[in-house]
Amino acid sequence: MSVSISKIVQALEPSATLAMAAKARELKAAGKKVYDFSVGEPDFNTPEHICQAATRAMAAGHTHYTASGGIQELRTAVAKAYQARHGLEYSPAQVVVSNGAKHSLHNAFTVLCDPGDEVIIPAPYWVSYAELVKLTGAKPVIVETEEANDFKLTPGKLRAAITPKTKILLLCSPSNPTGSMYTPEDLGALADVVQEKNLVVISDEIYERLIYGDNKFASFATVRPGLIERTITINGVSKAYAMTGWRIGWTLAPLAISKAMDSLQSQETSNPSSVSQYAALAAIEGPQQCVDDMLKHFAERREYVRHRIAELPNLSCPNMGGAFYAFINIQAHLGRDYAGKRVNNSADWCLELLAQQGVATVMGSAFGAEGYARLSFATNLETLAKGFEGIEAFLKS
């Protein structure tokens, strides 16, 4: 019997970042030395006090189903944190806790999109957005941005992409994959178009706590009065607290949307892991020094990466205001041979760099921007130094 896979799932692109990481792992298993800059996850272990909270939760018997949208304590703690950091007023019922921010995004798109609706996604974009939109039957509308403007969507480009079918604008700041950030003024100018055209914004703020230097983070819902009524904010503990494996993310949204997401989640997955929820609660309510300590390391690595990119011939990257990615312009290095192998595009370049030097990055084409390679600098300085030696040797080959 031949079983056919549904058309909607057949149309999905597998995650390119995970595919590159799998290739890197394969080479490692075959005994090759690999410097892996493909996956966006902090190399630090989850801080000790958070792990201990999880152990205490298990000992206390918090190993059962919880309310589908998360334990009351965590929803309250998230709401309080937004009050304290951004002055935003949310009730705990407006917070839905899910299995990582990716799940939160899936919930948001699923409860808002009908087939035929359009979702505007500025490119370069994180690999999962377009695929999650497609799963709902809605249409991702990709809008290109300019490196000269740090890959930020402008109000003009937004306006030009809006049609009568446009329902949602997706924003991600600080950005994966570019590391660039919208200023509060940039967001305000976009918000004016959003309000005029009656759009909903899904604002992915997962890198909110990883901001460098004088860059100012603004939560989208704060930049104009009334935006809170049309914004779904996405966040979680994965990046700020080095908790990628615990799978806790959340949404903050108008009550009707939160209720719909809670209802969807109650049928699809039930609650996220009870133990992880207690760990996330400890992360949010506990000492925040661990976030600052990790940020210091990321800032050092960012400086190093910036310096090495500037040193190498004909490479550039946008201003990295936050997150832990360098989106490197490799256009000057395409269309030639590397040790006898022709390299025409970013996929060729990343695959040859991995094959020849054991350096794993992700091709820009996976993020909707040909001619770039994304390097995650969530790895230690020694590994970064080795990786850049490999990139340098590759460019000279």
Ligand X SMILES: Cc1ncc(COP(=O)(O)O)c(C=O)c1O
Q: Which residues are near ligand X by CB under 6 A?
A: 40, 100-102, 126, 172, 176, 204, 206, 236, 238, 244, 249
Q: 205 or 352, CB closer to ligand X?
A: 205
Bridge partners, residue 143, by sequence: 122
Q: Which is nearer to ligand X, 70 or 236 (CB)?
A: 236
SS (H, E, C) 32-45: CCCEECCCCCCCCC
Nearer to ligand X, 305 or 343 (CB): 305
Supply the minimum distance, in Å, between the C-beta of residue 128 and ligand X. 7
Question: What are 170's strand-pairing partners?
Answer: 202
Residues constituting the chain: 397
Phi-psi region of 335 (alpha: psi -120 to 50; beta: other; left: phi over 0): left
What the block records as the tokens of 59 is 């000992």
Cα 44 to Cα 275, 378, 382, distances in angstroms: 20, 9, 15
> CB-wise, 258 or 376, nearer to ligand X?
376
Smallest distance, ligand X to C-beta of residue 367, A = 11
Rounded distance, CA 105 to CA 98, Å? 9
Q: Considering the complex, what minimum distance in angstroms separates the CB of residue 180 from ligand X?
A: 13
Nearest Cα residue to 77 out of 64, 68, 90, 67: 90
**Shortest separation between residue 342's beta carbon and ligand X, angstroms:** 32
What is the 8-class DSSP label of residue 380? Answer: -
Residue among 40 and 140 whose Cβ is closer to ligand X = 40
For ligand X, which is the closer residue by CB, 221 or 243? 243
Q: Which residue number has the CB closest to ligand X?
A: 100
Residue 204 CB, shortest distance to ligand X, in Å, is 5
Nearest approach, Cβ of residue 124 and ligand X (Å)? 11
**Nearer to ligand X among residue 221 and residue 343 (C-beta):** 221
Q: Which of 360, 385, 384, 386 is nearest to 373 (CA)?
A: 360
Cβ distance 115 to 272 under 8 Å? no
Closer residue to ligand X, CB minimum distance, 101 or 181 = 101
CB of 303 to ligand X, least distance (A): 22
Nearer to ligand X, 250 or 394 (CB): 250
Distance, CA of 219 to CA of 203 (rounded, Å):
8
* Minimum distance, C-beta of residue 244 to ligand X, in the bound complex (Å): 5
Alpha carbon separation from 55 to 15, 284, 374 (Å, rounded): 33, 17, 36
Coil, strand, or helix at residue 322? strand
- Secondary structure of residue 222 in the 3-state scheme: helix
| Closer Cβ to ligand X, 34 or 101, answer by number | 101
Q: How far is CA 335 from CA 327, 352, 356, in A?
A: 19, 13, 17
| CB-CB contact of 143 with 153 (8 Å) | yes
Quote helix, strand, coil % in the chain, to nearest 5. 45, 15, 40
- Residue closest to 389 by CA, chosen among 350, 352, 358: 358
CB of 40 to ligand X, least distance (A): 4
Smallest separation (angstroms) from ligand X to the CB of 205: 9
Radius of gyration of the chain, Cα coordinates, nearest whole angstrom: 21
